[in-house]
Amino acid sequence: MVDFSLSYEEKQVRDTIRSFIEKEVMPLEQDVLRNERAGRPGLEDGAIRELQLKAKKAGYWGINTPEEYGGINLGPVMSAIIAMEVGRTFVPFGFGGEADNILYACNEKQKQEYLLPTIEGERRSCFAITEPGAGSDARNIRTRAIRDGSDWIIRGEKIFITNGNEADFVMVFAVTNPDASAGEGVTCFLVDRDMGWKSEPISTMGEWGPASLVFEDVRVPETNILGEVDRGFELAMQWIGAGRYLIPAGAVGAAERLLSMAIEQSKNRVSMGRPIADYQAIQWQIADSYVQIESAKWLTLLSAWQLENGIDSRHSASVAKLTGAIMANEVVDRVLQIHGGMGYTKELPIERWYRELRLLRIYEGTDEIQRRTIARNLLRGYAKLGEVGS
């Protein structure tokens, strides 16, 4: 019999994180709304850092960072559970002590210059592969890096780069061998901002503030190559694949919080002499939302479990990501409907979540890309129907 229960230690971690989010982070929600609606960042870097240090005192620093680098390395399953708890609030908070997984591919000198300062929060990175003509089609990137003696000259543009406006260095992917076959001939470079690349903010319908990055003959020393020349695409896929399950995990947390708001509203809102919770139309919306949330939750945990146990989780991560993104958008729509006109106003945070969650169906692989991946895996026999625990 499969045991789906959490261990005592896992429950302790979940409950501690939940308490921290409720006591330290959620009280900042109104401040975040006021700041964002005034055109300011929801939280300043100093406030986020203060929260991270409070969490560090409680023992939560480097959730997935190896212990040799000062982290606690809880693993994918607990990381997913923690992401669900953090997802319950829209305050832009993340635990400190983290670095992009591909930065562990740094050599020793690069680790001192990039990896370790990023873990400590002294430096901030961004990952840049998406281009105006190469979004989900990452193999079609056009940014070029041309060798010039012991340096490389990078020329091109990246778009929709998270942290692109705030980062002081970028992991940028550029074509170094145009004649190579698909998936080869791409190299990853560690490029400091003071080497000459520029960023411009991109306004979006949500609070996500990505950037476009421009590289105009940016000179980068060969010592700043991450990994091997022409093997950068492998690093890119490692970056994309390692954390995909965390997207639906956050969606589950947000949807659970939203559904709790809808349940409370349905009990308190009276229409035609009765709480609207008494009406079947409302009950079905609540029931459908719960079923979708639970489905996305367990698909997400399955993907995390596979990753933790060394099983190829790419297929299950696509299933979880597609399910979680659609679920979150349908749940927030129902919750807004249950709140009626008030849900549509800025008096409540539902409209903010509505805009924010819409992004889930686009970034880190659109719905269409996930469906393509899932179908391809089934048609080619990489994934099989009827298998349990595979």
Place of tokens 């998406």: 130
Task: Mention every residue, 6+ apart, whose C-beta is less than 8 A from residue 131.
Answer: 140, 141, 142, 143, 156, 157, 158, 159
Task: Mention every residue, 6+ apart, whose C-beta is less than 8 A from residue 141.
Answer: 129, 131, 134, 156, 173, 174, 175, 186
Of the residues 234, 364, 368, 387, only one is catalytic, namely 364
Among the listed residues 95, 80, 42, the one whose alpha carbon sits nearest the alpha carbon of residue 352: 42
According to DSSP, residue 360 is labeled: G
Rounded to 5°, the CA angle 294-298-300 comes to: 115
Beta bridge pairs of residue 172: 128, 189
What is the distance between the alpha carbons of residues 54 and 313, in angstroms, rounded to a whole number?
Answer: 33
What is the distance between the alpha carbons of residues 185 and 279, in angstroms, rounded to a whole number?
Answer: 60
| Radius of gyration for the chain, computed over Cα atoms and rounded to the nearest angstrom | 22
What is the distance between the alpha carbons of residues 182 and 92, in angstroms, rounded to a whole number?
Answer: 37
Q: What is the 3-state secondary structure (H, E, C) of 159-226?
A: EEECCCCCCCEEEEEEECCCCCCCCCCEEEEEEEHHHCCEEEECCCCCCCCCEEEEEEEEEEEHHHEE
According to DSSP, residue 5 is labeled: P
Dihedral Cα 31, 33, 39, 43, nearest 10 deg: 50
Among the listed residues 68, 85, 97, the one whose alpha carbon sits nearest the alpha carbon of residue 19: 85
Question: 298 exposed, middle or buried (CB, 10 Å; 0-12, 13-18, 19+)?
Answer: middle
10 three-class SS: helix
Residue at 109: amino acid letter: K
Whether 364 is catalytic is: yes
Q: Indicate which residues carry an active-site annotation.
A: 364
